[in-house]
Chains A and B, each alone.
Chain A
Amino acid sequence: QSVLTQPPSASGTPGQRVTVSCSGSNSNIGSNPVNWYQQLPGTAPKLLIYTNDQRPSGVPDRFSGSKSGTSASLAISGLQSEDEADYYCAAWDDSLNGRVFGGGTQLTVL
């Protein structure tokens, strides 16, 4: 049981816009920034979005993040086949004194 809650799966067709949600509580998302990681099949995770809505250099602007209250979202526009991956949200948790993850969302491009 993960501290942050994500839907286990999401899907879309090429060119579509999809969103992945991440729900937490006041001790994590409600009071700390959210970061997103992308894990392509068989590879290590990679930083995708940091501090709620910032993209590292090299990440396409098709990827965007947002946060409101105790929830956060990752949006992917102009979906491409290479976006097929697992996506994880993460945040600091003040009660646990550590970083916590969502359970991950497996994105399928149909």
Chain B
Amino acid sequence: EVQVLESGGGLVQPGGSLRLSCAASGFTYSTYAMSWVRQAPGKGLEWVSAISGSGSSTYYADAVRGRFTISRDNSKNTLSLQMNSLRAEDTAVYYCAKDEDYDFWNGYWDHWGQGTQVTVSS
């Protein structure tokens, strides 16, 4: 059974940093792209960042480019999101999502985690 489980969320002050992690199991991790998708309180879904199966290609939404860094460790089946210079508008539930293909473009997410809450507030 495919499973993805996020961790690392919490309360952080504006300008601070936080690192999210996602543990994957139940599939050949290195052969699928992975993403982070977030949902602000009472709002819709917003794609944040993605990484190809090998980790050689990364993608970012304009809202986070230059502040967030996505990475993966295929030896440990883990995905990470390093978030720096956090702002109040980054407050959201962050979901880890598995892609249906090796690379990110033009595909879809076929499995999602339950999400981890990130709150940016003083």
Contacts and interface: CB of A to CB of B under 8 A. Distances in A.
A85 interface: no
**Which range holds the interface residue count of chain B?**
20 to 34
B110 interface: yes
A98 B115 contact: no
A51 B47 contact: no
B59 A98 contact: yes
Given A100-B47, A101-B45, A103-B44, A47 B61 contact: no
A51 B35 CA distance: 18
Nearest to B115: A44
A37 to B, nearest CB: 7
B62 A96 contact: yes
Interface of B: 35, 37, 44-47, 50, 59-62, 95, 100, 104-115
23 contacts: A35-B109, A39-B45, A44-B115, A45-B37, A45-B95, A47-B110, A47-B111, A50-B100, A56-B110, A90-B45, A92-B106, A92-B107, A96-B62, A97-B59, A97-B105, A98-B61, A99-B35, A99-B47, A99-B104, A101-B44, A102-B44, A104-B44, A104-B45
